[in-house]
Amino acid sequence: MKPLSVGLLLVAAGCTHVAKDVRPPIAPESFRAVGLAQPDAPEQALAAAPERAWLDSFAAPGLVAAVDEALRANPDLQRISAVRDRARAGAKAAFGPRLPSVDFGLGTGRTSAPTGFGNRSAFNVANGDLTASWEVDIWGRVRDNYRAADASADAAQADYFATRLSIAGLTGRAWIDVIEAAGQAKLTLEDAEARARTQSQTERRYDRGVAESLDVRTARAAAASARATADASREAALIAARRLEALLGRYPGGELAPGVDIPQLGPLPPAGSPTVLLARRPDVAAAEARLIAAGFQVNAARKALLPRFTLRVVGSTSGDGLRDITSLEGAIAQVALGMMAPIFEGGTLRAQVKAAKADAYAAAYDYVSTAIGAWEEVENAIGQDATLAVQEEALRAAAEEASAAEELTKRDYTRGVATIFDLVQAQAQRINAQRSLLSVRAARASNRIRYHIALGGGAETGALGATPAEAREETGA
């Protein structure tokens, strides 16, 4: 990955100077020159967006249903959707100055004029004006402003896909958390019930003179501690349920309970090429689109220093009524070509160029940071999966041995061979091993979801979202 990182830095560094020769900041040939298989446009980075096989790989219908519900009702996603629509509308508005503007004015009034011998005559007057103006975009400043707005709209679209993917990941991990919390609550409740039975057995042994008062107090302390742990686990399960309900856009009443086990995981799917990862991640596409927009903004700011040429056509007519002003007879037409060049602006325009360049540098480094962060997330998830898999096997063996040891200690305690301390310790080892196993299984499942999200939705599928065509249909673009 090191050569790719260097290539990204070279591309990003070169992009900030591109305004000097009036080119978009990221040209496809620039990516190919440094060995990056980056798509030609941000939209193509989203072309792999609709597939969802990464969800199906968990073989958990409840997970799929939870993600679907979150994507329909999550308020944060709805907000990002509105931001996306606004950006697309802004791009349409930025296209307007490239076309002529036409205005029509209509007025009427009553006036009077002298008719001689001190008399005046009053009559109605109507007038109409038609004005058309168009900035001749010789230098391409208006075009660059539009392209910057269009690239910003592409970035907003990519942000929308990135948010969908993030919400899907958050929902999936919250779904796993609910299952884990419910399982922990069940284990602690079972432990509390087992400790209560041990307490009753110890008290009966004490009544028969077989056990001592220390044994009774130890059993009672263990039972009380188990009840407290069970209460805490039950509250933790409610909190986890509320967190998931909030992501689903529901009232967080703590009433949701998946009621299933943590999904069994298969082998980790391959991550694929790091260059392909950049083409699949919607946040990388958003960073690229912002970099493109920043380059066009630099171009537009530089061209604002050049003269502007405007073509203006004005037609006016007047008469006694509507019939007169709609007649071409007597109409006056004017055609003018104007030029306006900045002479002294107090340094404003040159400061705006510097600010635009600074924004371009920031966008370039943001792109590099986003790309490196994407690789880091994938590498961390791969390493974490391997570590958690080893821990899961070890803890599964520990849980089995602890359960067997507890059964042996129970029999020995009943026969008077083992002490209450041995039994309490065996019970604690068993519950701790089972809870640790449940935690590591949940952590591995959550990490697997994180891995798919880091890959942009999966090694072969792309991000969870709509295709660009569907997105344009949604927004009316």
| Residues 6+ positions from 375 with CB-CB distance below 8 Å | 1, 5, 274, 277
Cα separation, 157 vs 151, whole angstroms: 10
The span from the CA of 291 to the CA of 412, in Å, is: 72
Q: How far is the C-alpha of 477 from the C-alpha of 468, rounded, in Å?
A: 10
pLDDT score of 48: 39
Domains and CATH numbers, the chain: 2-99+140-306+349-475 (1.20.1600.10), 102-136+307-340 (2.20.200.10)
From CA 12, how far away is CA 10, in angstroms rounded? 6
Determine the Cα angle at 122 with ends 116 and 126, to 5°. Answer: 130
Q: Is the dihedral of CA 77, 80, 86, 92 positive or negative?
A: negative
Give the three-state DSSP class for 332: strand
Q: Could you list the pLDDT tens digit for every one of the 477 residues in the chain? A: 444 444 554 444 444 333 333 333 333 333 333 333 333 433 443 333 434 678 888 888 888 889 889 988 899 888 999 999 999 998 888 888 877 777 776 666 666 666 666 666 666 666 667 777 777 878 888 899 889 999 999 999 999 989 999 999 999 999 999 999 999 999 999 999 988 999 998 999 899 888 889 989 999 999 999 999 999 999 999 999 999 999 999 888 888 876 778 888 888 888 777 777 887 888 998 999 999 999 998 988 888 888 877 877 776 666 555 555 555 555 555 666 666 667 666 678 888 888 989 988 899 999 999 989 989 999 999 999 999 999 999 999 999 999 999 999 999 988 888 888 888 889 889 999 999 999 999 999 999 999 998 888 754 333 334 433 344 444 444
Cβ(99)–Cβ(134) under 8 Å? yes
Cβ neighbours around 32 below 10 Å, total: 11
Coil, strand or helix at 344:
coil
Contacts of 121 (CB under 8 A, 6+ apart): 112, 113, 114, 115
**pTM to 2 decimals?**
0.76
321 CB-side CA count, 13 A: 1
Backbone angles phi, psi at 309, to 5 degrees: -115, 130
H helix and E strand count, the chain: 14, 4
Q: Which residue has the tokens 């063996």?
A: 397
Check residue 274 and give its pLDDT: 78
AA letter at 143:
R
Helix, strand, coil shares of the chain, percent, nearest 5, are 65, 10, 25
Confidence at residue 15, expressed as pLDDT on a 0 to 100 scale: 44
* Phi, then psi, of 111 in degrees rounded to 5: -135, 175
- Please, how many CA atoms are within 13 Å of residue 463, restricted to the half-sphere of its CB? 33
- 131 forms beta bridges with 103, 314
Alpha helices for 16-102 (secondary structure H): 28-33, 42-45, 53-56, 61-73, 75-95
Question: What is the separation, in whole angstroms, between the first and last Cα of the chain?
Answer: 37
